[in-house]
Chain A
């Protein structure tokens, strides 16, 4: 008996996901060189891009190995939508007296603060004239009025938070919502994002109407 060649086990593939928390990888040397070249030609443009503010984000990457991938993840994602849908809270930007003011006083998206929710004191923004502002989640009230109820503890990741006066999604929603295409980052990247897909800044989805429709058919 002779033994035939051992059939090669097909290498399993893999599944992973990227979202707003995915950090950019370091560029390769060749990429750096190519970029340097191109950027020299466009020095003017590059200078403007370099001035863009840096943005660091929490590292959390979900990696799944392909070995033994069974159908189920798609279902899990579907359930995720069921759980998260409807969970929405309003964030009111308030001054030190709890009076609701314009969101522009609370500049930084609260969700980007690190650490487990609620474990640290709420972020305070120092506005013009030395006044202190912070977000109050939940509760009710209108602009210029003292906020009724609510809490300064950041709600869970699952909750979608909309700011009161500007209607921006500052947590729970996708990173691309609200700010429009963002240019550049601290690691020398020049990728522009948001040029495909739904324009969510005005709150209306690409598919039109108030209810969001599937792109599929």
Chain B
């Protein structure tokens, strides 16, 4: 698997994106503990959405005012969700800490679900892996069979992503939905039409679209020409991941979680717009991707990545450096499908920030 963005190794040398020259091992007990952590984090996140909606704290998340009502309605309707990925700091000792939650548009799914599973079969056939992603995705779609407006689901990605990463991720999800019995249609999000006369979304055959899976961030939809149609047309045209996830995919979530659960073992202290009492912190844009626009402030070091994000403001999180193994620093991407933990994918980077130069490294649970 290569998305035209090969990994970067120590000293900036090229590194394959899929790197099986190394792998991580976990004990079953560790995985069980991590699984429990992920499910606790998931339920805390749902609580946080409820709090934000009830208290009307949309401004803290830089959600445009015209979307507030629709976001709240989407949560109150329980618009169905499918999957998400928690990025965790874990050094083998003590509880995993939430670095951020990719709730809206997570990728690296195929690698975690399929590639590393076949790696395990080929190299350590007797061992296990924290990986029930495929089965759980199919199961999740099956569970949604009666909750979606029709048996037809459109799967869309942006043709603006020329690396193919989004298209591959979406097509994999499309396969899991088809396996669950949905009739699925793949098309680029740019090809979705708006029927101005009949006030509805249409596909290229001019048929009405009633359910869309999108690998395209909500905050971009807000600013797109059809953004207001999308909001106004809910739930006649239902979008997955649902609109309420724009609260979870926003780094302001980290501060709200800390506010609601100060001192929780799976959280790092985090604050909105100012570092509070933190003297060593990471400043993250509310809406940032792939490690862009991150600043690290700590005694004796100043680290900053470039990028195009940050106009919506920043969140300050305690600086907890990623553990280092042989010069590389792993982030655990723990998957949630529906409401249960479903698997793990590890990305390693040479630097402190996991960005688009990170490499995917498989893992296994040795037979005891």
B90 CB-CB contact with A under 8 Å: no
Which of B25-33, B220-228, B271-279 is the interface stretch?
B220-228
A73 CB-CB contact with B under 8 Å: yes
B206 touches A77 (CB 8 A): no
A78 CB-CB contact with B under 8 Å: yes
A15 touches B161 (CB 8 A): no
B210 CB-CB contact with A under 8 Å: no
Mostly, the A contact residues are loop
**Of all chain A residues, which has the CB nearest B212?**
A196
B172 touches A205 (CB 8 A): no
**Of all chain B residues, which has the CB nearest A14?**
B183
A80 touches B164 (CB 8 A): yes
Tell me the minimal C-beta distance from B187 to chain A in angstroms: 4
Which of A23-31, A97-105, A120-128, A148-156 is the interface stretch?
A23-31
Tell me the minimal C-beta distance from B361 to chain A in angstroms: 18
A11 CB-CB contact with B under 8 Å: yes
A197 touches B224 (CB 8 A): yes
Tally of chain A residues near chain B (CB < 8 A)? 65
Tally of chain B residues near chain A (CB < 8 A)? 74
User: What is the CA–CA distance of A194 and B220 in the complex, to the nearest angstrom?
Assistant: 14
**Of all chain A residues, which has the CB nearest B103?**
A217
B178 touches A14 (CB 8 A): yes
B363 CB-CB contact with A under 8 Å: no
B177 touches A13 (CB 8 A): yes
B186 CB-CB contact with A under 8 Å: yes
**Of all chain B residues, which has the CB nearest A204?**
B160
User: CB-CB < 8 A to A175: which residues of B?
Assistant: 191
Partner of B190, one of A174, A208, A209: A174
**Of all chain A residues, which has the CB nearest B356?**
A213
User: What is the CA–CA distance of A25 and B162 in the complex, to the nearest angstrom?
Assistant: 29
Tell me the minimal C-beta distance from B350 to chain A in angstroms: 20
A27 touches B206 (CB 8 A): yes
User: What is the CA–CA distance of A14 and B177 in the complex, to the nearest angstrom?
Assistant: 9
Which of A110-118, A129-137, A138-146, A185-193 is the interface stretch?
A185-193
Give the residues from 79 to 95 in chain B that come closer than 8 angstroms, CB to CB, to chain A. none
B168 touches A78 (CB 8 A): yes
Q: With A24-B204, A196-B190, A196-B216 given, is the CB distance from A217 to B168 under 8 Å?
A: no
User: CB-CB < 8 A to B161: which residues of A?
Assistant: 198, 205, 207, 212-215
User: What is the CA–CA distance of A189 and B334 in the complex, to the nearest angstrom?
Assistant: 45
User: What is the CA–CA distance of A189 and B207 in the complex, to the nearest angstrom?
Assistant: 10
User: What is the CA–CA distance of A31 and B198 in the complex, to the nearest angstrom?
Assistant: 9
User: What is the CA–CA distance of A113 and B9 in the complex, to the nearest angstrom?
Assistant: 47
Which of B105-113, B319-327, B337-345 is the interface stretch?
B105-113
User: CB-CB < 8 A to A108: which residues of B?
Assistant: none
A198 touches B190 (CB 8 A): yes
User: CB-CB < 8 A to A16: which residues of B?
Assistant: 183-186
Partner of B206, one of A12, A17, A82, A187: A187
Q: With A13-B179, A214-B107 given, is the CB distance from A206 to B158 under 8 Å?
A: yes
B368 CB-CB contact with A under 8 Å: no
User: CB-CB < 8 A to B168: which residues of A?
Assistant: 74-75, 77-78, 81
A214 touches B290 (CB 8 A): yes
A85 CB-CB contact with B under 8 Å: yes
A81 touches B4 (CB 8 A): yes
Q: With A189-B202, A190-B197 given, is the CB distance from A74 to B177 under 8 Å?
A: no
**Of all chain B residues, which has the CB nearest A28?**
B207
Name which of B4, B164, B183, B195 has the most chain A CB atoms within 10 A of its CB: B164
A54 CB-CB contact with B under 8 Å: no
A181 CB-CB contact with B under 8 Å: yes
Give the residues from 132 to 185 in chain B that come closer than 8 angstroms, CB to CB, to chain A. 134, 151, 157-169, 171-172, 174-175, 177-185
Tell me the minimal C-beta distance from A9 to chain B in angstroms: 11
User: What is the CA–CA distance of A66 and B16 in the complex, to the nearest angstrom?
Assistant: 33
A193 touches B191 (CB 8 A): yes
Partner of B215, one of A22, A200, A215: A215
User: CB-CB < 8 A to A74: which residues of B?
Assistant: 110, 168-169, 171-172, 175
Q: With A24-B204, A81-B4 given, is the CB distance from A196 to B187 under 8 Å?
A: no
User: What is the CA–CA distance of A174 and B186 in the complex, to the nearest angstrom?
Assistant: 14
User: CB-CB < 8 A to A190: which residues of B?
Assistant: 195-198
A69 touches B175 (CB 8 A): yes
Tell me the minimal C-beta distance from B84 to chain A in angstroms: 11
User: CB-CB < 8 A to B356: which residues of A?
Assistant: 213-214
A195 CB-CB contact with B under 8 Å: yes
B215 touches A197 (CB 8 A): no
User: CB-CB < 8 A to B226: which residues of A?
Assistant: 195-196
Binding site for A on B (CB under 8 A): 1-4, 102, 104-107, 110, 114, 134, 151, 157-169, 171-172, 174-175, 177-198, 202-207, 215-217, 220-221, 224-227, 229-230, 249, 289-290, 308, 356
12 contacts between A and B (CB under 8 A): A13-B177, A13-B183, A18-B185, A18-B203, A31-B198, A66-B179, A82-B4, A197-B159, A205-B162, A212-B160, A213-B356, A215-B215
In the A-B complex, list the 7 residue pairs whose CB atoms are closest, starting with the nearest: A198-B160, A81-B164, A191-B193, A216-B107, A195-B226, A195-B225, A22-B204
Additional 6 contacts, C-beta under 8 A, given A24-B205, A74-B172: A175-B191, A196-B224, A207-B160, A212-B161, A214-B163, A217-B106
